[in-house]
Amino acid sequence: MEIETLISTLRRYVTEKYSDEATGHDWYHIERVTRNACLIAESEGGDVHVVEVAALLHDIDDHKFNGGDLEAGAKTAQRVMEQIGFDNTFIQRVVPIINKVSFKGVYVDSVPDSLEGKIVQDADRLDALGAIGIARAFAYGGNKQRPIYDPEIKPELHHSAEQYIHAKSHTINHFYEKLLHLKDKMNTNTGKTMAAQRHQFMTDFLAQFYAEWNN
C-alpha cells in the first residue's frame, strides 16, 4: 500500500479519536502540530513522511491522560501503525519519537535523537506558545480543576519526569514551569524563529494579567 494511502487512513483514525477532546489536545491541536512539523521539515530536511506520521500520533495515549505511564504512547502508536499496515522499518523510525516528544520537566532531558523527532517536538512546543498556547493552558487547567492563579503558591522547576507529572499547581505557574522555557528549548533554527514572537506574546499577556490582578 502506498505511504500516502496509509497516512490518509491514519489521519482519519486520529481525527475521529480526538474530535471531542476538550483539554486542548484535540484534533485541531494535532492538525496544527502536523502542519507546522511539515513546514519546519521543508526548511530543515528529514523524512517528511516520518515527520507527518509522528506528528499525527504524538499525543496518542499520552502520560497526561493515562495516569503517568511514559511508555504507553509509543506502544499504542506502534500497535496503531501495525494495524493500519505501515511496515516495520518505518514504524521503528516513528516509535522513538513518540517516546521523547513530550515535555517532562525543565531539567529533564527529552531531546529526540533524530532530526524528524526534533522537528515534531518543535512543532508540538510551538502550539504551547502564543495565543493558542495560552488558550490551551487554561483549557487544560480547567479540565483538571486547577485554579487560574494563587499568588501564595510559587512555581517549581522539576528535576524528574515523575515530579513533573504528579505536580499540581495553578495555571499561571504552568507558564513558569514549562511554557516560558520552550523558546530556549527549540531544536531547529526554524522552530526558534517561529517561537520568538509567540513567546513575546505570552510575556505581554502575563504583564497584563498581573496589572489587572493587582489593580
- Identify the CATH number of the domain in which residue 98 sits: 1.10.3210.50
d(CA 107, CA 112): 15
C-beta separation of 62 from 25 below 8 A: yes
Q: Name the residue range of residue 138's domain.
A: 3-213
List the chain residues with pLDDT less than 50: none
- pTM (2 d.p.): 0.94
User: Residue 68 has what pLDDT?
Assistant: 64
Amino acid type, 135: A
What local confidence, expressed as pLDDT, does residue 137 receive? Answer: 96
Check if the beta carbon of residue 29 is closer than 8 Å to that of residue 140: no
CB 126 within 8 A of CB 198: yes
User: Which three cell numbers, joined as nine digits, stand for 9?
Assistant: 487512513
For the CA atoms of 18, 20, 26, 30, what is the dihedral angle to 10 degrees? Answer: 40
Query: What are the backbone dihedrals phi and psi of residue 85, each rounded to the nearest 5 degrees, phi first?
Result: 120, 15
Mean pLDDT of the chain: 93
**What's residue 136's pLDDT?**
96
Q: In this predicted structure, what is the pLDDT of residue 114?
A: 97
- Asked whether 120 and 32 are in contact (CB, 8 A), the reply is no
CA distance 25 to 60: 10
Cα(93)–Cα(89) distance, integer angstroms: 7
> What pLDDT, on the 0 to 100 scale, is given for residue 161?
82
Count the domains in the chain: 1
- Contact between residue 199 and residue 183 where contact means Cβ atoms under 8 Å apart: yes
- Quick: pLDDT tens for 177-192: 999 999 999 999 999 9
Q: Say what the pLDDT of residue 89 is.
A: 97
